[in-house]
Structure 1
Amino acid sequence: METALTKQDRIGARVSHDVYQTLCRAAELTGATVNQFLVQAALKEAQHVIEQQEVIRLSPRDWNWLLELTEAPPKANAKLAAALKRYKKARHNDADHAFDWQP
């Protein structure tokens, strides 16, 4: 059976001796190599940062409020109507410089 080859990239970092010793000790305590420990720790932090930036969390109260607004949106007031008009005008003016992209 053939196995798929996974492309791998290299990451390098220079750290002080004290930092290196701390990383070595932590890796040893978890039964990992320093490289394995660094990759796992960095990956965990990267996933956390991405989730914070891309996921919106709502309380049950706020979720219900959002659902109510979605199901029965309020009537547009004068400020919203003016903003929509400005938006449409700006999109029209940018049409010459944009591709045929539509949201």
Structure 2
Amino acid sequence: MSTTETSDRITNRIPQTITLKLQEAAALTGATLNQFMVQASLEKAERIIDREKTIHFSKNDAAMIISLLDNPSPPNAALMRAFEKFKQREIDNGNQNSPAGNGPRGK
């Protein structure tokens, strides 16, 4: 079974000086201008998406987060009230077997 991918067309109006520079770069890589522009745009898009979806921590930040996960604080009154409201809403909605468990950690 063969699958076909649909294509979209994107057009841009750019100054001739930029066109010449892009054509030169495309020729140096052995690609057509269109291939070069698509590849360059895709590489840039992937870098931006990766940058925005990745969280970078210093060693100290990572150690602090691991410590907090290993040694969580006991739930405060506000968390306990919120959990009770959540449990009641689950019961009211008929979700008595929700994955909420028996309460917040530390109870």
TM (norm. structure 1) is: 0.68
Deviations 1:26-71 (A, max 9, x none): 0000000111110111111111111121111223332222111112
Q: State which structure, 1 or 2, has the greater radius of gyration over its C-alpha atoms.
A: 2
Tell me the residue number matched to 2:73: 74
Gap runs ≥5 in structure 2: 83-107
CA–CA distance in structure 2, aligned partners of residues 75 and 10 of structure 1: 56
CA–CA distance in structure 1, aligned partners of residues 11 and 32 of structure 2: 15
TM (norm. structure 2) is: 0.65
Gap runs ≥5 in structure 1: 89-103
Whether 1:16 and 2:12 are equivalent positions in the alignment is no
Q: Which has the higher helix share?
A: 1
Tell me the residue number matched to 2:43: 44
CA–CA distance in structure 1, aligned partners of residues 43 and 58 of structure 2: 25
* Residue identity matched to 1:48: R
Q: Determine helix, strand or coil for the equivalent of 2:41.
A: helix
CA–CA distance in structure 2, aligned partners of residues 29 and 37 of structure 1: 10
CA–CA distance in structure 2, aligned partners of residues 10 and 69 of structure 1: 50
CA–CA distance in structure 1, aligned partners of residues 23 and 2 of structure 2: 32
Q: Determine helix, strand or coil for the equivalent of 1:23.
A: helix
Q: Percent identity?
A: 37
- For the aligned residue pairs, the C-alpha RMSD in angstroms reads 2.6
Higher relative contact order (CA 8 A, sep 6+): 2
